[in-house]
């Protein structure tokens, strides 16, 4: 399996929920508002024996009318039309911003040949909760769309992609295991966003159920060591991937 992080940059985020670009060589974290977190934004593309998978879709930023996520894919030799499945852990704006793209006043899914997988309850919750964590306007394309497969709880996609609702970072957040050719790749999204969080026990105030997130991280870290998982860290500035082998 080939895994490629698609970094969209480093940012700080505080209680305003705004993602502010951060230059590690020039900026100083202590000069940002109190409580600011330093995070990377990086979806992943996984080339398996069956699919080209995209795990979450980033912030949805564009440059000269081109989606940054599309540019990042093309820079590693993958045409966006080749993506066959889009796996969505949850629909917070930094994970689902690239779900759709608006052109000439019409909003369309960003990956025309892909099936999108999202929990139905997460989609409903996104429209119920709204701004600032969710941007419903950007998610409208997920409703009543033939390309979208609404998931109902835990299960397995095509006999090799396991998904499980945790309700840890957010009420209907889900995580994925991709099992292909004796490899196990784990994507914990915001339940397990950074390597250091796997190694230290703490309760994060920004989680829906911080204690559950903490316990799950401990469980996954131990199981991953025993089963040689590859971990994908969506918000880790220095360690997007970690291999147990």
**Where do the structural domains in the chain lie, given as residue ranges?**
2-243
pLDDT (average), residues 109-120: 97
Does 245 have pLDDT greater than 70? no
User: Which whole number is the average pLDDT over 2-11?
Assistant: 92
pLDDT digits (tens, 9 = 90+) for 169-190: 999 999 999 999 899 999 999 9
Distance CA 92, CA 129 (A): 10
Instruction: Count Cβ neighbours within 10 Å for each residue of 65-93 and write b for 16 or more, e otherwise.
Output: eebbbbbbbeeeebebeebbbbbbbbbbb
Query: pLDDT (tens digit, 9 = 90+) per residue, 76-86?
Result: 999 999 999 99
Handedness of CA 144, 72, 64, 94 (dihedral sign): positive
pLDDT for res 106: 79
CATH superfamily of 2-243: Ribonuclease Z/Hydroxyacylglutathione hydrolase-like (3.60.15.10)
Q: Please check the confidence at residue 23 and state whether its pLDDT lies above 90.
A: no
Q: Shortest CA distance to 184 belongs to which of 218, 222, 217, 231?
A: 231
d(CA 100, CA 112): 10
In the chain, the DSSP E strands lie at 2-5, 10-13, 19-21, 37-40, 44-47, 52-55, 62-63, 66-67, 85-87, 100-103, 106-109, 115-119, 148-151, 155-157, 161-165, 174-180, 183-187, 230-232, 241-243
**Has residue 12 got a pLDDT over 90?**
no
Higher pLDDT, 245 or 244: 244
Closest CA to 83 of 58, 50, 125, 61: 50
């Amino acid at each position: 399996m080939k895994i490629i992080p698609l970094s969209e940059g480093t940012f700080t985020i505080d209680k305003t929920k705004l993602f502010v670009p951060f230059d590690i060589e020039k900026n100083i974290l202590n000069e940002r508002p109190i409580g600011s977190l330093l995070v990377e934004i990086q979806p992943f593309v996984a080339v398996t024996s069956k699919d080209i998978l995209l795990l979450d879709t980033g912030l949805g930023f564009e440059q000269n009318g081109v989606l940054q996520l599309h540019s990042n894919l093309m820079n590693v030799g993958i045409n966006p039309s080749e993506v066959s499945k889009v796996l969505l852990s949850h629909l917070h704006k930094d994970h689902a911003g690239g779900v759709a793209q608006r052109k000439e006043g019409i909003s369309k899914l960003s990956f025309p040949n892909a099936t999108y997988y999202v929990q139905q309850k997460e989609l409903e919750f996104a429209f119920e909760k709204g701004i600032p964590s969710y941007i419903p306007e950007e998610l409208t394309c997920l409703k009543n769309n033939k390309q979208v497969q609404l998931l109902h709880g835990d299960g397995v996609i095509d006999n090799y992609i396991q998904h499980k609702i945790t309700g840890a970072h957010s009420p209907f957040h889900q995580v994925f295991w991709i099992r292909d050719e004796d490899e196990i790749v784990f994507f914990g999204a915001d339940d397990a966003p950074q390597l250091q969080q796997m190694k230290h026990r703490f309760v994060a105030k920004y989680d829906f159920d911080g204690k559950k997130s903490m316990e799950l991280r401990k469980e996954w870290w131990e199981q991953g060591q025993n089963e040689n998982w590859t971990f994908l860290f969506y918000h880790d500035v220095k360690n997007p991937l970690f291999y147990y082998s």
